[in-house]
Amino acid sequence: MNDSQILSELKKYQNKIKVNSILLLLVAIAIPVGFFSALMDYVNGHNFIISLVIALVACIAVGPLSKKNSNLKKAKKNFIGEHIIKELIAEKIEIEGYEPSNYINRDTIKKSSIMPGYDRISGSDYISGKYKGIGIVYCDIELEEKRTYRDSDGRRRTTYSTVFKGHFFRMDLGNKIDGYVRIVERRNPRKKGFFADLLGSAADLVGIETNTIELENEAFNNQFEVKTNNDEMAFYILTPQFMENVVRADEMADGYTNILFKEKKVDIAMNNYVDSFEVKKNIYSQKALDECRTLMRKDLDILLAIVDEILAKDRLFSK
C-alpha cells in the first residue's frame, strides 16, 4: 500500500472507533438515567415502562458495543503493524515473522531468571528474524502479580499489580558458552518504571553454583549485580568498554536493564514501562503519518542500542 491508501484505511478504522465509542458512552449514560427515570415515574405514579425498557436495552447493548470497540482497535493495531511497523522494522531487521498482537512463548519468560514471577501475562509486537546475521526474537511484555487482601469489611479482594512492563529480546549465540553470566540492575529509587524485588524463574539457577563478582568499574558495580559460575567468561564479556556501553544504552532505555548469558542464548529485559510501536494519536494526515514513523524509528533505535553493544562481542556470536 502507498501512503495515500494507508491513510484512507486508517481514517476508516479511526472513524468507526470514534462513532462506536460515542455510542458506547451514550449507552453507558442511558443505563443509570433510564433506571432513575423509571424509579421516579414509579414513585410519582406515572408510566415507568418506557424508561425501564430504555435502561434494559442499554444494558443489553453495552456488551456487543464493547466487544465491537475492542475488535476495531485490534484490527486497527494489526493494520498499523502490517503496513507501517513491519516496514520500519524491516529497515534494520531481516524479518522472518511478525505478529502485532502476539508475544513470545510463556515458558520462555517463565524460565528466564532475569524476569520476575507473575500470575498474568500479556504482550504484543512479536518479531522473529535476523539482526546483523544473528537470530533474534523480540516482543513487548507486561507481567502482573496477583495480590489478595481483606478490605475494611473483612471481605477478600483481589488486585493485579504490574511487576514488569517493557521489552524482551532473545539472541542466538554462535556457540554454547561455558558458563552462566547474569547481569541484574540494582534498585534505584530515582529511576522511572517498575522493579521487581524478587526475580522469579529460579529454574535457570537450579543445580548451578554461582557467585557474585566485583568489577573494576565502581559505578557499574553500584548499578548492577553480576552473578556467574565462570569468572573468566564473565570478565571476558564485561570489559571496561562493554560496561560503559551498557550503562549508556540503559540510560537510553530509561528503565531497568537485565542481561543473561547462558548456553546458546542471550536474554535482554528492559523494564521501562514502555510499549514500543504504539500509536497514541489518530492519524489523518501525511504529516501525522511521517511523525508516527519518526517516533517508531526512534523506538527501534533505542531497542537495538544495547543489542549492538552485546554484538560487539563477536567471538560469542561467530560459529
Q: Is 262 exposed, middle or buried (0-12, 13-18, 19+ CB in 10 A)?
A: buried
Confidence of residue 198 (pLDDT cuts 50, 70, 90): very low
pLDDT tens by residue, 61-99: 999 999 999 999 989 988 998 899 999 999 999 999 999
pLDDT tens by residue, 199-212: 544 444 444 556 88
Domain boundary residue, one of 90, 112, 131: 90
12 and 117 together in one domain: no
Q: Give the number of domains in the chain.
A: 2
99 and 158 together in one domain: yes
Domain boundary residue, one of 27, 58, 90: 90
295 and 209 together in one domain: yes
238 and 281 together in one domain: yes
Q: What's the whole-model pTM score?
A: 0.79
pLDDT tens by residue, 228-250: 988 888 888 888 888 887 887 77
The rounded mean pLDDT for the chain is 85
27 and 113 together in one domain: no
Q: Which residues pair with 171 in a beta bridge?
A: 136, 266
What pLDDT is attached to residue 133?
A: 87
64 and 124 together in one domain: no
Domain boundary residue, one of 31, 59, 90: 90
C-alpha cell at 239: 570489559
- Mean pLDDT, range 112-132, rounded to an integer: 90
156 and 290 together in one domain: yes
What pLDDT is attached to residue 189?
A: 58
Give all strands (DSSP E) within the chain, no chain letters. Answer: 94-99, 120-131, 134-150, 156-172, 180-185, 211-213, 224-228, 256-262, 265-271
309 and 185 together in one domain: yes
103 and 78 together in one domain: no
58 and 197 together in one domain: no
Give the residue, 35 or 194, on which the prediction is more confident: 35
310 touches 167 (CB < 8 A): no
145 and 78 together in one domain: no
79 and 104 together in one domain: no
Answer whether residue 137 shows pLDDT above 90.
yes
Edge to edge, what strands does the sheet with 180-185 contain? 94-99, 120-131, 134-150, 156-172, 265-271, 256-262, 180-185, 224-228, 211-213
Give the structural domain span for 32: 1-90
